[in-house]
Amino acid sequence: YPHQLSGGQRQRAMIAQSISCGPQLLIADEPTTALDVTVQAEILDLLRSLRDRLDSAILLITHDMGVVADLADDIAVMRRGVIVERGTVDQIFNEPTHPYTIALLQAVPHLGQRGDEAIDMTAALAIGTDIVVDAVLAARIEVNERLANEAASAARNDSREVVVKFDDVVIEYPKHGRVAAFRAVDKVNLYVRQGEVLGLVGESGSGKTTLGRAAIALLPITEGSLHVAGHDISKASREEIHRLHKSVGIVFQDPSSSLNPRMPIGESIGEPLKLAKGLKGAALSAEVERLLDSVELPRAYRSRFPHELSGGQKQRVGIARALSLEPKVLIADEPTSALDVSVQARVLELIQGLQKQMNFACLFITHDLAVIDVLADRIAVMHHGRIVETGTRDEILRYPKDPYTQRLLAAVPIPDPNEQRARRELRRELLAAGIEE
């Protein structure tokens, strides 16, 4: 039955149904939006092989420019019901003419492009394979040991307070009827310092969200110890957990389901202030307006209900609510995965600006390495409940050591058609290695 299949398996079943009669045209409406990057890469390879085998035309509808670069031959850019630009994939990506197309391309997080020194992702991936690539032999990767050593030294000498610390943490979901107990998190050791953004990446089911929810005491831990903002959660009483919630905020993945549909957003933002600080009247109103200003929403929106806002606006409300008590720790659980690229870029800029301004520690949970590249100081990679690799941004993106990290990097679509063509064979090699394990 469908509920017994993963997202990628369900998508394959739908593709099989769609091609059963040998169609001349296959309409793929956001076929990879809800999928992890490795599953997404497999679906894109499947669509490409079907196009070649059946000689069918594919109309690909998507907001993901990396997916477009991977699969499309021609592109039509649509805005407000009007096609504003069309051309070949190379023309649109390399020589866009319409301002909206240019803005759309600029908004896409491009893995390995943060900062002054870009990372050659194609060459970096080749390190993780046995393939000899001329580009690598021609030194397209410059191994900068000085920068790597400086980053490692800075991490060792960082004197900032550790505000989140997992020590050999195990989290198990207990046996339920005939369903056996399931170990979602297995012996995890992890820390986040004050003012630091730690990116936690991995596929669905890897244990990322379970770890994040444990950090705010929404889930109990089975073994080990967990300290957050000076509180030992593993032994905390109900009163201590209540005090902890004043020091920790969380931004959920789906902004629509995380807000009360019957409550105006001003009340949603003000509720923690009312309950935790006892603010009322003019003082509460002034603080709500300040928070709306901080997330760049008009003050008049305080009287609107969630259904009157866009996805990006609702996520801003969620951020304002999470930061209303000025927490020491923010847990951000896939906060941009449900948003279009242009909206996603603005939300990422907002979180980045607020984090620098308020200096909170942030555990940023995502399956998208391009997003984490924008924000994170360090990256931890999670697979089947275990942390398989941790390091600085450069260490993880430039010199990935674990095969699973290499497969994650291989699967990320780059919004550049030429680069995607060069990476495709490397991606197949690494993903195939993962299937064989």
Distance CA 255, CA 252 (A): 6
Q: Model confidence at 7, in pLDDT bands (50, 70, 90)? A: low
Is 397 found in the same domain as 280? yes
Q: Model confidence at 136, in pLDDT bands (50, 70, 90)? A: very low
Average pLDDT of the chain to the nearest whole number: 82
Whether 128 is covered by a domain: the verdict is no
| pLDDT of the residue at 120 | 47
Q: What are the tens digits of pLDDT across the range 322-342?
A: 999 999 999 999 888 777 777
Q: Residue 328: which domain range?
A: 146-412
| pLDDT of the residue at 223 | 92
Is 150 found in the same domain as 105? no
List Cα–Cα distances, 2 to 12, 203, 236, 329, in angstroms: 11, 20, 40, 38
Whether 92 is covered by a domain: the verdict is yes
Q: What are the tens digits of pLDDT across the range 287-318?
A: 999 999 999 999 999 999 999 998 889 999 99
Lowest mean pLDDT among 274-283, 333-342, 423-432: 423-432
Helix (H) or strand (E) holding 105: helix 99-107
Whether 268 is covered by a domain: the verdict is yes
Domain count, the chain: 2
Any residues with CB less than 8 A from the CB of 384 and at least 6 apart, and which?
Answer: 186, 206, 207
Whether 139 is covered by a domain: the verdict is no
Whether 356 is covered by a domain: the verdict is yes
Percent of the chain predicted with pLDDT > 90: 41
Is 157 found in the same domain as 49? no
SS3 label, residue 201: strand
The CATH code of the domain that includes 312 is 3.40.50.300
Whether 426 is covered by a domain: the verdict is no
Q: What angle do CA 48, 52, 56 make, to 5 degrees?
A: 95
Is 186 found in the same domain as 103? no
Distance CA 247, CA 68 (A): 42
Whether 150 is covered by a domain: the verdict is yes
Q: Model confidence at 34, in pLDDT bands (50, 70, 90)? A: low
Bigger pLDDT: 59 vs 129: 59
| pLDDT of the residue at 133 | 32
Whether 104 is covered by a domain: the verdict is yes
The pLDDT of 24-43, averaged and rounded, is 82
Q: Say which amino acid occupies 61.
A: I
Is 195 found in the same domain as 265? yes
pTM score of the predicted model: 0.78
Q: Model confidence at 264, in pLDDT bands (50, 70, 90)? A: very high
pLDDT at 108 over 50: yes
| pLDDT of the residue at 262 | 93
Q: Model confidence at 432, in pLDDT bands (50, 70, 90)? A: low
Q: What are the tens digits of pLDDT across the range 160-213?
A: 899 999 999 999 988 888 878 889 899 999 999 999 999 999 887 888 989 999
Is 278 found in the same domain as 171? yes
Distance CA 250, CA 368 (A): 19
